[in-house]
Structure 1
């Protein structure tokens, strides 16, 4: 029987931001898309039998959304393993080679990156190999490979930006 696992909204506690953000809906969706991309960087694309989804949650302060993993095939061992792994989430954005898309350290949120494609491109540039093909941090090899496979247009943009810097 299909079910959905609620993975949360991002790495910043959601309800502490709901009433402080003038454009909460836009920021909420940006963070969910970024968190989805960060999970793909760390754990790879969901296998057949599950997919990421957005879950609306109605609250006294308004509607907020969280990222979910919709599991359609719970009897598949690959799906079960992926769901169990992704359910743990991330402790920090840097685990995926990402920067937080929004900073909440002042009275109002500061958008660091507004474009999900640009966020992925930046993560690809951060995790890229050196000119000799080696990675400065061994874990970057997995992050970079997962992102490049899942986001080919962003991988091409990152390669173009890196070439322009050379």
Structure 2
């Protein structure tokens, strides 16, 4: 049994996280794609899985249920460089215990595994989301509803596909 399975196609991030976790006494396995992740999850039965949302163009959300099946006792935390409410909700529905935006500190990742229930004492955000952020979140939700199909999403939103692609290529708008 392994303490952690890191599933991320970013080799530099995986190496850094692996070094820090090894120094803290954890045993770690790494996978850079979905098939390796599933194979290692079945063999090692890790206690914790850190799953990147974007695996070289493949969706970590599609892999999440398969990982839950391969390692049913594992707690899964999803990491992403493009956080959105829609994908966070979907990840939790699919069995993740937490969803963190990259770059996430090791302390935040470890804390996410420690918190397996809602914490009503957490402070609320002081500022409501901006209109640009709300729009970006809506695009992400509709995209998730269409399983990442940009053409179907554009049709649903009644906009040109290229316009949607340009909007999706931008980094998320802060708050």
Q: Same fold (TM over 0.5)?
A: no
Query: Greater RCO between the two (CA within 8 Å, min separation 6)?
Result: 1
TM-score (norm 2): 0.26
TM-score (norm 1): 0.27
